[in-house]
Amino acid sequence: MVTSRASQPTLLIVDDAPESIDVLRGVLADDYHIKATVQSRDAVDIARSTRPDLILLDVMMPDLDGYKVCRDLKEDPATRKIPVIFITTLSDVPHESRGLRVGAVDYITKPYVPDLVRSRVKTHVALHHQNTELERLVAARTSELVETRLEIIRRLCRAAELRDNETGMHILRMSHYSRLIALAAGDGDSAADLVLNAAPMHDIGKIGIPDSVLLKPGNLSRDEWEIMKQHTVRGAHIIGEHPSELLTAARDVALCHHEKWEGTGYPAGLQGTAIPRIARIVALADVFDALTSPRPYKTAWTPEVAVGFMQAQRGRHFEPVLVDAFMKALPQCLEIGARYRDD
């Protein structure tokens, strides 16, 4: 059975000697799609654009030697997983050890033995394909586990909503505010998404607060306020301790989102960077949405008044750098607030 050219694995040969490329092409062309260059400086760009299944790389080249090219390939996220086999006349142990240290998977020495070349290339291409498929399966399973945890969080938040005066729109808004603040503070998309998904758990502990306190329309007494403050500890207890990054972040948010930068918050009176960063971000988002939302016991503040309060609390309630990030993200936060306003 003849393998179609489109389905053949791709090899990239990098060698400054055209005759060496011709020999390898003759040995391998029946089973592989061959790309080749005599310019070592072009190797990374070609590998990045063609994504070959394996690279055959000469060690001794006049421009960049193979060791430098291999290091560059392994430092580039787009090419680091492509296996590299060095082709060389240098067959002594020190040279082979150096090549393996910079990331090569094997050596083939000149002059070539065709059967050996075919065997080693076939082995490493097969291993590469197996590793790629394994990574795909692991990624799919990981995605499934993350989605399951997110769904558990969503359902717990729905349970909390049934007992609280605050609406689901509050949770939606403050979660998106949190993500925007994280991005404005320099976090990448992955870290900002973690904030987005952990923020909804900030008040999960209110499930454990008695209705007489949680739903009281007037001001709380001192004793009632002490009970209300326990929602942070109860929330951390509900989430528990788990190695999952998401659940760890959610626990930090639930426990510490009422801590204050200057150390006067609760439940532990943490100060400054002792407060988990994710909780410092969520605190900003939670307070801003609480101020700009109507409640049975108050009218909504205008965004201008609320922003003035947030700025006045810079270095007191809130971390100064995060207040600056909040101000940078404010136009997008106001758009979120308008899109998901309470009915």
Q: Within a domain: residue 143?
A: no
174 and 274 assigned to the same domain: yes
Domain boundary among 96, 117, 136: 136
271 and 186 assigned to the same domain: yes
The span from the CA of 12 to the CA of 3, in Å, is 19
210 and 306 assigned to the same domain: yes
Burial 213-246 (b: 16+ CB within 10 A, else e): bbeeeeeeeeebeebbbbbbbbbbbbbeeeeeeb
Using left for φ > 0, alpha for ψ between -120 and 50, and beta otherwise, residue 265 falls in: beta
Q: Within a domain: residue 298?
A: yes
207 and 94 assigned to the same domain: no
Q: Within a domain: residue 146?
A: no
188 and 284 assigned to the same domain: yes
Q: Burial, 182: exposed, middle or buried (Cβ in 10 Å; 0-12, 13-18, 19+)?
A: buried
CB count in 10 Å sphere of residue 25: 14
254 and 303 assigned to the same domain: yes
Sheet holding 84-88, edge to edge: 33-37, 10-14, 54-58, 84-88, 106-109
125 and 192 assigned to the same domain: no
The span from the CA of 65 to the CA of 68, in Å, is 6
197 and 303 assigned to the same domain: yes
Domain boundary among 85, 115, 136: 136
131 and 170 assigned to the same domain: no
Q: Within a domain: residue 209?
A: yes
Q: Within a domain: residue 144?
A: no
175 and 130 assigned to the same domain: no
CATH number at residue 126: 3.40.50.2300
Domain boundary among 116, 136, 156: 136
pLDDT in tens for each of the 343 residues of the chain? 444 556 899 999 999 999 999 999 999 999 999 999 999 999 999 999 999 999 999 998 888 899 999 999 999 999 999 999 999 887 655 777 788 889 999 999 888 999 999 999 999 999 999 999 988 888 888 777 777 776 777 777 667 766 665 666 888 899 999 999 999 999 999 999 999 999 999 999 998 899 899 888 888 999 999 999 999 999 999 999 988 898 899 999 999 999 999 999 999 999 999 999 999 999 999 999 999 998 777 789 999 999 999 999 999 999 999 999 999 999 999 999 999 887 6
| pTM to 2 decimal places | 0.62
Q: Within a domain: residue 116?
A: yes
Burial 267-285 (b: 16+ CB within 10 A, else e): eeebeeeebbbbbbbbbbb
| Parent domain of 16 | 5-136
203 and 126 assigned to the same domain: no
CATH number at residue 210: 1.10.3210.10
State the total domains in the chain: 2
Q: Within a domain: residue 157?
A: no
Tell me, what's the pLDDT at 6?
61
121 and 235 assigned to the same domain: no
The span from the CA of 303 to the CA of 311, in Å, is 12
Q: Within a domain: residue 149?
A: no
Tell me, what's the pLDDT at 2?
45
